[in-house]
Amino acid sequence: MIDPALIQRPGISRRNFLAHASCFGAFYSVAARIPMTALGKALTSDSRVSQTPIVDKGFAAVRKAGDGLYATISDPSKGYTTLCNGGFLVGKDAALLVEGFASPGGASFQMETLRTVSQVPVKAALDTHYHFDHSMGNAFYGANGVAIWAHAAAARRIVESYALMQGAEKDVALAPFEKRIKDAKSDLERAHAQSDLNAVTGVFQIANATVLALPNHPIDAAKLPMTMDLGGLTAVVESHPGHSGTDMIVKVPEQNVVYTGDLLFSGWYPVCFDEKATISGWRDTLKKFAALDMDTLFVPGHGQICGQEGIATIREVFDDIAGQAEKMYKAGVPVEEAQHRYVVPDKFKNFPIYAWGFTIGPAITKLYTEWGAKK
Ligand SMILES: [Zn+2]
């Protein structure tokens, strides 16, 4: 997906640089054409979901998604304050915030909104994974005495990915991506390389403009699930493979509501670039989501709230990528070519694609690896 001759600068390995390129920056190139879709038809009649948001700031709106449950849904076409989705759970005794968002302003917005509905103490804020757009606002929580929970590997990965980027010179950091545009063998490859450059540029700018704050409450995934009693509201934290190697979800079993983090992109192509992303693992996780109650409501990491139809759709997207990749694999198409050749079918043509090299390209590369292709 990305030229192996990346970043020659001492101190920044290719591995680290790829990790820098979180799903956040790509928004600089795609956000303008991602209008937030209205609630799906199936949800307009779901009594758990309020039809009118309790607050709408443009960049994000918060709506009720159950009894004491709220979903913060971002609209990246209107700004990057939050960028990812999140939400909060409010019991009689305590509240749990979900996500650190892309900026302290995003975390602050969510906290303020929580305070319009309840004054209970906040038990914690959970980053569902380490990626930029879910953790860059952590500083707000830190400054306000809110414990930040995350997968035990999240803090390290934030440092490895973004702190290192803060010391890099922009021209040097971006040079390999510029080179890929220059060296592209076709218009298609050039367009893909350009979208990747846009993505990395965005991440670089944001990383350098932010004071990073790390989760201070590491969660050992081996000890999950963890059940939390918020007072008449039980939340269960679980970890599943797929998107980032640090993925956590929050389930509310009594109401069949799940906050999925980026294990669900609702009506989007999934972001698969992470070195710890696993396509087979992710598809297994989605299969588990599909086996949950038919009535389950999902608050995705990106895109609109959905029911089981949203899980069925992202599984279809993965099936389509894997189907096209498998044909190329069996026909002996080298992975370098195959990663560019996927054709977006009509039915997914309105699905936002982060930079190609963060979504479809690495999905195909990882599938080839899983199938035993030699590099
Ligand atoms: Zn992510």
Using DSSP's 3-state secondary structure scheme, residue 353 falls into coil
Distance 153 CA to ligand 1 centre (A): 14
As separate numbers, helices (DSSP H) first and strands (DSSP E) second, the chain gives 14, 13
Give CA–CA dist 350/366, Å, rounded. Answer: 24
Distance 135 CA to ligand 1 centre (A): 10
pLDDT (mean) for 77-104: 95
> Up-side HSE of residue 364: CA atoms within 13 Å toward CB?
26
pTM of the complete model: 0.90
Q: Which residues pair with 73 in a beta bridge?
A: 61
Distance 244 CA to ligand 1 centre (A): 7
Distances (CA, A) of 258 to 92, 225, 227: 20, 14, 14
| pLDDT above 90 (res 38) | no
Q: Which residues pair with 100 in a beta bridge?
A: none
Q: Which residues contact 39 (CB under 8 A, 6 or more apart)?
A: 49, 51, 304, 305
Distance 131 CA to ligand 1 centre (A): 5
Distance 22 CA to ligand 1 centre (A): 7
Question: Structure tokens of 3?
Answer: 């030229």
Split at pLDDT 50, 70, 90, the class of 2 is very low
Distances (CA, A) of 59 to 101, 209, 230: 12, 19, 29
pLDDT for residue 6: 31
| 13-28 per-position pLDDT tens digit | 434 443 334 444 444 4
**Is cis: bond before 53, omega within 30 of 0?**
no
Of residues 238 and 43, more confidence is placed in 238
Distance 312 CA to ligand 1 centre (A): 20
Q: Which residues contact 119 (CB under 8 A, 6 or more apart)?
A: none
Packing angle, helices 279-290 and 360-370, rounded to 10: 100
Give CA–CA dist 165/57, Å, rounded. Answer: 31
Q: What percent of the chain has pLDDT over 70?
A: 89
Nearest alpha-carbon partner for 129 in 138, 119, 118: 138
Distance 119 CA to ligand 1 centre (A): 30
Task: Using alpha carbons only, give the angle 32, 297, 221 rounded to the nearest 5 degrees.
Answer: 90
| pLDDT above 50 (res 3) | no
**Are 161 and 184 contacting, i.e. CB atoms less than 8 angstroms apart?**
no
Q: How far is CA 10 from the centre of its chain?
A: 29
- Radius of gyration for the alpha carbons in the chain, expressed in angstroms and rounded: 20
CA dihedral (74, 76, 80, 81) in degrees, to 10, reads -20
Give CA–CA dist 274/353, Å, rounded. Answer: 15
Using DSSP's 3-state secondary structure scheme, residue 110 falls into helix
**Are 60 and 75 contacting, i.e. CB atoms less than 8 angstroms apart?**
yes
Question: Structure tokens of 336?
Answer: 């370098």
Nearest alpha-carbon partner for 67 in 236, 297, 305: 297
| 167-205 per-position pLDDT tens digit | 889 999 999 999 999 999 999 999 999 999 998 898 898
Give CA–CA dist 157/16, Å, rounded. Answer: 9
Distance 332 CA to ligand 1 centre (A): 32
Distance 301 CA to ligand 1 centre (A): 8
Amino acid sitting at position 192:
H
